[in-house]
């Protein structure tokens, strides 16, 4: 037992148990104080919620009791290899029985009885599950129907029929196991990305190999060419070409320089660097990704729950029809042909496989869907609300145009503006400094920053090389006494600069629209999205400029977080709404929307926690791919349910009329199950 994550009232454990998921969950829910438990066999992850009556320190003792319960079971549940060996043995027995029946030999009855005993031994786990369903869960299950059909065949001395029923039911279970294995491979590959060690840089400059779990925040770690980065952090020295495809889904490696962020699980393809640790263990981007996928596998979509409930109710119906058929016809074979057919396997297995496959497919595209219910909801989204900065745009302002006044040159305007702005942390200041860098202009060294004053939200002023420099909004310069003509205000610029009291220049600064965003919005409309809205805290003029380029339906500017929240609440009364954002100010709206989607490499931790879907790369087209995936999953589940009911229902009718044998009925039932599970597996392709 390993505690993977723990907060007050909630805990996630790594638990490798021999017991079935349902039994583990039921056992935990009997513990005072624990009111919810979900165990995922493919990840061996147990998530449970508790109140003040539960004491976490009791956990080790409780798990020992669970282990004792597991030891009373017949070892672990059959693995893929074990099921294969069972199917092989049963197939050989069937071939032997067929040969002997064609070539009569002495003691054939003894052989029949021996085969019957072997079938019962092979079916031991199925018999136990059937008994558990009746004795403890107080309900009939599909295992009960299978056991009844096997016993009926053996009673009628039809050992070959019993073998066929056993082989077909085991093959369908084998296929389900293989589906589970396939859907968890992505999670296993992510876990393998966790580097086991790190090269820690000590204060004296020496480097030594350290276990990754011993690395702490603010430690310095050296990353060499060809190595996997063990932590999240910021580059301090050096530069490298880093492959982040496993984390973000972006295939193209990125150059990393000092102050750039790097993620655990990425690979240093070329160069080397020293990284200051910002996150370790399960708090890293990779650790959070693994945790989110584990939680997604643990959850069940409403459709999945509903399908399972209907399927379980049909077990009783199948059993009642079997008894009714026998009472009416007094024909055991007719009754038996109905007994071997149920709806549970096809519906439960294919539905679970479909949602698991969808979660795995999304993860491969760099999108983490937190539960199956969110897969369903994505298909029904009619309104998509997009934050501007960091979602529609890259969040990287750049200088698009410089206009000069009163005889000043662009070089002068850029030099004095960048010299003043280098003391500011404002994004527009960064854009001006980048413009200076592109032009090869080095800002003047500011020896005493106290000579420069920043007026929050308006601008700066100070002395640069003996000249009085002011930079900021148009209103700020007017407040500072700079004369602005009416001609100047005809064009709206982002930042204005004055030198010695005269207007010297103006910068038109715009954000870079994310590549592919316009095409994505167009494709969203083709997929049934009726309305695309842009919300931003930016000025209306700037917002409209971006909106025209990407062609959204409506724009709302100067929006505060609570205003975004109210807009989502209002829109939800009309349609299903998805909110796409990346920042702290988007978190309330992300939480309130039917589906909250966090997007982009610069997303904040708060936004990730508030959202239902996390897209870890910067490709907006993933939004359309997720909607396609959602629609495909719902369509697949519907196909599987209809196919299971129609085919199995038809087989039951044919069995009642005596038109098919019990072996044929078993074949139809199990082939249907195999077919619908394979149909679900197509989602992974």
Q: Which of 387, 538, 594, 618 is catalytic?
A: 387
Classified as helix, coil or strand, 427 is helix
Share of the chain residues as helix, strand and coil, in percent rounded to the nearest 5: 50, 20, 25
Q: Cβ neighbours of residue 405 under 8 Å, at least 6 residues apart?
A: 488, 502, 503, 504, 505, 506
Q: Which helix H or strand E contains 459, and what residues bound it?
A: strand 459-464
- Contact of 262 with 228, CB cutoff 8 Å: no
Biggest distance spanned by C-alpha atoms of the chain: 117
Report CA-CA distances (Å) from 387 to 508, 570, 581, 611, 613: 22, 17, 5, 14, 15
Q: Which helix H or strand E contains 151, and what residues bound it?
A: helix 142-155
Q: Cβ neighbours of residue 204 under 8 Å, at least 6 residues apart?
A: none
CA 576 to the chain's CA centroid = 20
CA 62 to the chain's CA centroid = 31
Rounded Cα gap, residues 165 and 146, in angstroms: 8
Rounded Cα gap, residues 243 and 241, in angstroms: 7
Q: Where are the alpha helices (DSSP H) in 530-621?
A: 540-550, 561-572, 587-592, 605-610
Rounded Cα gap, residues 318 and 612, in angstroms: 39
Q: Facing residues of 221 across strands? A: 200, 275
Q: Which residues of 627-636 are buried (b: 16+ CB within 10 A; e: fewer)?
A: bebbbbbbeb
Q: Facing residues of 11 across strands? A: 6, 48
Closest CA to 39 of 50, 53, 24, 19: 24
Residue 387 appears among annotated catalytic residues: yes
Q: Which helix H or strand E contains 387, and what residues bound it?
A: strand 383-387
- Contact of 177 with 79, CB cutoff 8 Å: yes
Radius of gyration of the chain (CA): 33
- Contact of 512 with 393, CB cutoff 8 Å: yes
Give the Cβ contact number of residue 562 at 10 Å: 11
Write a three-state SS string for 235-285: EEEEEEEEECHHHHCCCCCEEECCCCEECCCCEEEEEEEEEEEEECHHHCH
Q: Which helix H or strand E contains 399, and what residues bound it?
A: strand 393-404
- Contact of 261 with 242, CB cutoff 8 Å: no
CA 606 to the chain's CA centroid = 17
Pairing label, strands 383-387, 531-535: parallel
Q: Cβ neighbours of residue 192 under 8 Å, at least 6 residues apart?
A: none
Rounded Cα gap, residues 179 and 170, in angstroms: 14
Rounded Cα gap, residues 73 and 64, in angstroms: 15
Place of tokens 């016809």: 329
Active site residues: 387
């Amino acid at each position: 037992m390993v505690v993977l994550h723990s907060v007050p009232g909630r805990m996630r454990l790594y638990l490798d148990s021999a017991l079935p998921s349902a039994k583990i969950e039921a056992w935990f829910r009997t513990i005072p104080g624990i009111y919810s438990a979900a165990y995922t066999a493919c990840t061996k992850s147990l998530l449970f919620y508790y109140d003040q009556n539960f004491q976490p320190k009791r956990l080790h003792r409780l798990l020992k009791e669970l282990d004792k319960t597991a030891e009373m079971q017949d070892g672990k549940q059959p693995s893929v290899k074990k099921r294969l060996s069972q199917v092989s043995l049963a197939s050989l027995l069937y071939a032997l029985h067929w040969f002997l029946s064609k070539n009569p030999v002495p003691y054939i009855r003894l052989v029949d009885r021996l085969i019957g005993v072997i079938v019962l031994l092979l079916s031991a786990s199925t018999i136990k599950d059937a008994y558990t369903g009746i004795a403890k869960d107080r309900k009939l299950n599909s295992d009960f129907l299978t056991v009844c059909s096997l016993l009926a065949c053996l009673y009628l001395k039809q050992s070959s029929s019993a073998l066929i029923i056993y082989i077909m039911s085991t093959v369908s279970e084998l296929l389900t196991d293989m589906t589970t294995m396939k859907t968890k491979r992505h999670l296993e590959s992510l876990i393998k990305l966790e580097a086991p060690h790190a090269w820690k840089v000590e204060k004296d400059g020496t480097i030594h190999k350290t276990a990754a779990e011993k690395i702490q925040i603010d430690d310095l770690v050296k990353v060499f060419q060809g190595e996997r980065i063990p932590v999240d952090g910021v580059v301090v020295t050096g530069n490298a070409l880093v492959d982040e495809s496993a984390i973000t889904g972006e295939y193209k490696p990125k150059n990393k320089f000092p102050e750039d962020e790097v993620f655990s699980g990425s690979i240093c393809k070329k160069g080397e660097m020293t990284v200051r640790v910002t996150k370790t263990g399960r708090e890293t981007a990779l650790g959070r990704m693994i945790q989110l996928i584990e939680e997604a596998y643990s959850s069940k979509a409403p459709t999945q729950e509903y399908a399972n409930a209907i399927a379980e109710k049909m077990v009783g119906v199948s059993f009642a029809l079997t008894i009714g058929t026998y009472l009416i016809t007094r024909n055991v074979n007719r009754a038996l042909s109905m007994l071997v057919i149920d709806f549970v396997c096809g519906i439960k297995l294919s539905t679970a496989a479909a949602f698991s496959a969808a979660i795995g497919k999304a993860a491969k595209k760099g999108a983490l869907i937190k539960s199956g219910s969110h897969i369903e909801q994505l298909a029904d989204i009619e309104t998509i609300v997009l934050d501007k900065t960091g979602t529609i745009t890259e969040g990287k302002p750049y200088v698009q145009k410089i206009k000069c006044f009163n005889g000043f040159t662009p070089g002068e305007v850029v030099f004095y503006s960048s010299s003043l702005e280098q003391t500011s942390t404002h994004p527009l200041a960064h854009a001006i400094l980048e413009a200076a860098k592109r032009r090869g202009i080095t800002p003047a060294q500011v020896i005493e920053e106290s000579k420069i004053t920043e007026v929050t939200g308006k601008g700066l002023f100070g002395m640069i090389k003996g000249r009085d420099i002011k930079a900021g909004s148009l209103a700020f310069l007017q407040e500072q006494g700079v004369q602005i003509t009416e001609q100047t205000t005809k064009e709206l610029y982002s930042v204005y600069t004055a030198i010695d009291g005269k207007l010297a220049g103006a910068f038109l600064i715009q954000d870079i629209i994310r590549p592919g965003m316009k095409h994505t919005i167009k494709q969203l409309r083709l997929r049934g999205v009726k309305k695309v809205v842009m919300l931003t805290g930016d000025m209306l003029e700037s917002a409209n400029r971006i909106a025209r380029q990407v062609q959204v339906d409506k724009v709302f500017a100067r929006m505060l977080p609570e205003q975004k929240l109210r807009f989502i609440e209002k829109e939800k009364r009309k349609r299903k709404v998805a909110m796409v954002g990346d920042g702290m100010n988007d978190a309330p709206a992300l939480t309130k929307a039917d589906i909250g989607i966090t997007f982009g490499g610069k997303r904040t931790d708060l936004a990730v926690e508030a959202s239902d879907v996390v897209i870890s790369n910067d490709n907006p087209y993933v939004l359309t791919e997720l909607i396609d995936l959602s629609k495909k999953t719902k369509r697949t589940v519907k196909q599987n349910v209809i196919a299971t009911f129609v085919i199995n229902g038809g087989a039951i009718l044919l069995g009642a009329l005596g038109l098919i044998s019990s072996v044929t009925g078993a074949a139809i039932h199990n082939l249907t199950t195999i077919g619908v599970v394979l149909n679900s597996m197509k989602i992974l392709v």
